[in-house]
Amino acid sequence: MRNSSLQVLMLLTFLCFLFIPLYMVSNQYETPPEETWRRTMLQQQEINTYTEQVYRMPDIQDETVDLRIVVIVFNRAYSLLRLLGSLNVAFYFGERVVLDIWIDRSKDGQIDENTYRIASEFQFKHGVKIVHNHTFHVGIYGQWLNTWTPKSNSSEIAVILEDDITVSPYFYKWLKIVHKKYDKLVEVNGYSLQGISIKHGIGSEGLLDAPFGNIVFLYPVIGTWGFSPNRRNWVKFRDWFEVMLQDDKFQPLVPNILPTSWYQTFIQTGKTEGMWSMWHIYHAWKSREYTVYPNFPDQWKESNTHPFTHESAHYPMNHLQGWVGVDVVGVMVHVHLDV
Ligand SMILES: *[C@@H]1O[C@H](CO)[C@@H](O)[C@H](O)[C@H]1NC(C)=O
Ligand SMILES: *[C@@H]1O[C@H](CO)[C@@H](O)[C@H](O)[C@H]1NC(C)=O
């Protein structure tokens, strides 16, 4: 008995000596991209914690902001200009608006000068504009996840906009209405500005087609062409993300949906740094949360060749009574193809 334990111990010791040097050798190779962005995110979160969200202007208190527009951009100066132009002609009803423009750095630390020039020269007519240079390259994860970090008692509405879209003049009207009406529902994690989306179930191709008569519908997959988080769920999602990030083995894979197969391809090609939304999709799936989309058939639908199907990824929201039929026409964002 004692003898065999000793043998096992000796074998283990031997194996350790064999593998530790191997491990050390393998660690000298270049860090894989996935590890790099995970590390970047952790680093950024640490900085955010230490600096108590330095990006806030000292004279602007959260509770005095009605709408915070978060624009994320890297080096597409022209796209940024187009988006900012559309923000200037939108309606804000005299409310207090803050426009945060976040410029990412390249991997070698450069801020694109043209983008910075457009951002800093732009005159926002409806509120305060703040241009933020990220302090290091944060990528699309850092841009989406660490630019809106509301205090727990903040009541501001935030909307995160990538640079390749323009907004409808009515986008804030839409956001005000849906936040007021649906924020209290625990399953609502946010509001999309996009009214059109592909279906994400494997084997269900084509565009989403919510039933006529529902002004909004719930969908399990986030729409990123303009997204306005429900604060409560966003905080929960970010906290969860911070925890999961530290587990290198964890991958946010949801069975039988297209984004998962895209993400798996990215894992193979080392490009997961481009698909932050997979984490949001996973979290929504686990917590049974949905994004509210607008459903304006005349505005959005190409042709109704795809009949409404009750696939798992598609929930009509007509059980929500009492929608006031306000003028929400034209809330859509336009997504531009950049060359
Ligand atoms: C941001 O970057 C631009 C372009 O490099 C630079 O001119 C500007 O001073 C920077 N701003 C801050 C606050 O660092
Ligand atoms: C929110 O909390 C901060 C401190 O964390 C406090 O100074 C502020 O008055 C609070 N605002 C509201 C509206 O409760």
What residue's CA is closest to ligand 2, atom 1? 153
Task: Give domain status of residue 43, yes or no.
Answer: yes
Report the chain (339 residues): mean pLDDT per 10 consecutive residues: 66 57 48 78 75 52 84 95 93 94 95 98 96 93 91 88 87 89 91 81 74 76 91 94 91 89 88 88 92 67 29 31 33 49
Q: Which helix (H) or strand (E) covers residue 166, if one does?
A: strand 165-166
Tell me the best of 106, 108, 133 to mutate to test the pocket of ligand 1, counting ligand atoms within 8 Å of each CB and taking the most: 133
Quick one: which of 228, 128, 230 has its CA closest to 174?
228
Does 16 map to a domain?
A: no
pLDDT score recorded for residue 2: 58
Task: Please work out whether the CB of residue 116 comes within 6 Å of at least one atom of ligand 1.
Answer: yes
Please give the tally of structural domains in the chain: 1
Domain-embedded: residue 21 = no
User: In this structure, is residue 11 part of a structural domain?
Assistant: no
Residue 305 belongs to domain spanning:
33-335
In a domain, 274, yes or no: yes
Does an H or E element contain 133, and which?
Answer: strand 127-133
The answer to whether position 133 is within a domain reads: yes
| 208 in Cβ contact with 219 (< 8 Å) | yes
| The pairing of beta strand 67-73 with beta strand 97-103 | parallel
Q: Whose CA is nearest to atom 14 of ligand 2?
A: 153
Q: For ligand 2, which residues put their CB under 6 angstroms from it?
A: 63, 151, 153
138 falls within a domain: yes
Atom of ligand 1 nearest to the CA of 110: 5
pLDDT of residue 51: 58
pTM, two decimals, is: 0.80
**pLDDT at residue number 28:** 46
The minimum-distance atom of ligand 2 relative to the CA of 155 is 13
282: enclosing H helix or E strand = helix 277-287
pLDDT of residue 338: 46
Mutation choice for ligand 1 from 55, 101, 111, CB with most ligand atoms inside 8 A: 111
Tell me if 133 CB under 6 Å of ligand 1.
yes
Question: Looking at the CA of 154, which ligand is closest?
Answer: 2
- Domain at 246, CATH number: 3.90.550
Q: How far apart are CA 185 and CA 189, in angstroms?
A: 9
Q: Cβ(111) to ligand 1 under 6 A? A: yes
User: Could you tell me if residue 9 is inside a domain?
Assistant: no
